[in-house]
Amino acid sequence: MRKSFLAASTAILAAPAMVHQSAYANTLTGLIPDLYAAVNVVSRELVGFIPSATRAPGAERAALGQSVSYHVAGAATAHDITPAMSIPEPADQTVGASFMAITKSRGSSFGFTGEEQRGLNSGPGYLSVQADMIAQALRVLTNEIEADLAVAATAAASRAYGTAGTTPFATNLGDTAQIRKILDDNGAPATGRSLVMNTSAGAAVRTLTQLTKANEAGTTMTLRQGELMDVHNISLKESGQAVLHTAGTGASATTNTAGYAKGATVITLASAGTGTVIAGDVVSFAGDANEYLVVAGDTDVSDGGTITLAAPGLRQALPGSAVAITLAADYAASVAFSQDALHLVTRQPALPQEGDAALARMMITDPRSGLVFEVAMYPGYRKIKAEVSIAWGIKATKPEHTALLLG
């Protein structure tokens, strides 16, 4: 008797769940047209880093926080060719390794009671309101990923060009040519290059007559659609999450008198000057027109210490005497990089092998960023919860192939 009662109870409890699952799956399917319409209506910030980054293969199989290695080929060396009757030994090579990981698993959720749904259906319609809220969830998660990429790319730049505090592209496209020169000098690949700008720089580009006069630009893209284009083999894009850097307070700092060879990255300061030099600052040295990004600074330059420049380091040697260091002011960062320099991996947050309590789930592609998100519905007591989620990891892998355009 007891066994029969338990079996019957289990069957009764299981049946409604199966019905709800089927019904809610249909609701999710029916939501798709409203959802995509809502994505196009809800305010969305510009994304430029996400479509410009390499989607890293392999890391999507890793658990949250688990490191995945990728190879880093060492620099090659040249040698003299000497004819001989035996094949000479090849030079030893060192293949290094670096790591990236999925570091974030994030969601955005909301819920409705049955009474709230009933009220909405007498007005704008529950599915339409739900679609708008899912679109807002896509927005907030996309912006967070875009911001993470912007911070990583900006912090990993090798060198910079431009005047901090002054918006580039005031009169022509010369800034793009100079930023391309940095990538060329550093040996960055000639293909897959992007310059992701803040919106002030984007506005300046759009005002250039070379781009809005169809007879000079060769296209009406910028004039008619307000879209940016490929200039000097660099794809111009905009981002609503571009980094605004507040510079350190360092003044009157100098190098010590050791002298530094071309390519040096760690520079020792003399016990002079005041204030700080912090990571993200842009510095230049007297007699050297190049602007270098600081990846590790000193919180008090008055007692010496060191600063570390991004690879590939100094473009020209510093003499064995105290050399004055100039610190750039606060700047808005536009970032130029080749696609191999910035990696992004995304996946849906992992589920236990047995599944979880969701009634239904589906994958949806955000048309603005191209990212794939999971939408899941969870039942409660006379209430339903919707969750939009994604997991991701980011790695700036190649400072030599990244440069800043200051604004």
Query: Beta-carbon neighbour count of residue 262 at 10 Å?
Result: 11
- Percent of the chain scoring above 70 in pLDDT: 78
Tell me, what's the pLDDT at 210?
60
Look at 399 and 37; give whichever has higher pLDDT.
Answer: 399
**Beta-bridge mates of residue 405:** 161, 334
Q: Identify the band that residue 121 occupies on the pLDDT scale cut at 50, 70 and 90.
A: confident
Judge contact between 354 and 277, C-beta under 8 A.
Answer: no
Distance set, CA 260 to CA 156, 309, 318, 322 (Å): 22, 12, 5, 11
Choose the weakest-confidence range: 10-19, 82-91, 358-367. 10-19
Choose the weakest-confidence range: 84-98, 108-122, 277-291. 84-98
Residue type, 231: V
How would you class 169 by CB atoms within 10 Å of its CB: exposed for 0-12, middle for 13-18, buried for 19 or more? buried
Average pLDDT over residues 9-33: 44
Judge contact between 161 and 402, C-beta under 8 A.
Answer: no
3-state helix, strand, coil in the chain (%, to 5): 30, 30, 40
pLDDT at residue 122 greater than cutoff 70: yes
Choose the weakest-confidence range: 21-35, 143-157, 192-206. 21-35
Average pLDDT over residues 147-156: 95
pLDDT at residue 158 greater than cutoff 60: yes
pLDDT at residue 90 greater than cutoff 80: no
Tell me, what's the pLDDT at 254?
93
Tell me, what's the pLDDT at 368?
79
Choose the weakest-confidence range: 43-52, 108-117, 337-346, 393-402. 43-52
Concatenated DSSP letters of 163-190: -TTS-S-SSSSHHHHHHHHHHHHTT--S
Instruction: Please write the tens of the pLDDT for every residue from 211-238.
Output: 655 444 444 434 333 347 788 889 999 9
* Global confidence as pTM: 0.81
**Beta-bridge mates of residue 99:** 69
Judge contact between 246 and 330, C-beta under 8 A.
Answer: yes
Tell me, what's the pLDDT at 68?
66
Distance set, CA 287 to CA 164, 242, 268, 291, 350 (Å): 19, 31, 17, 11, 54
pLDDT at residue 330 greater than cutoff 90: yes
* CA angle in degrees (0–180, nearest 5) for 318-278-395: 95
Tell me, what's the pLDDT at 221?
39
Instruction: Please write the tens of the pLDDT for every residue from 335-349.
Output: 999 999 999 989 899
Q: What is the largest CA-CA distance in the chain?
A: 96
Choose the weakest-confidence range: 16-30, 142-156, 285-299. 16-30
Q: Identify the band that residue 177 occupies on the pLDDT scale cut at 50, 70 and 90.
A: very high
On average, the pLDDT of the chain sits at: 82
pLDDT at residue 149 greater than cutoff 90: yes
Tell me, what's the pLDDT at 54?
87
Choose the weakest-confidence range: 25-34, 55-64, 215-224. 215-224
Closest Cα partner for 19 from 314, 275, 379? 379
Residue 217 CA to residue 229 CA, distance in Å, equals 10
Tell me, what's the pLDDT at 3?
38
Instruction: Check whether the bond before 124 is cis (ω within 30° of 0).
Output: no
Tell me, what's the pLDDT at 5?
31
Tell me, what's the pLDDT at 222?
40
CA dihedral (267, 273, 278, 280) in degrees, to 10, reads: -70
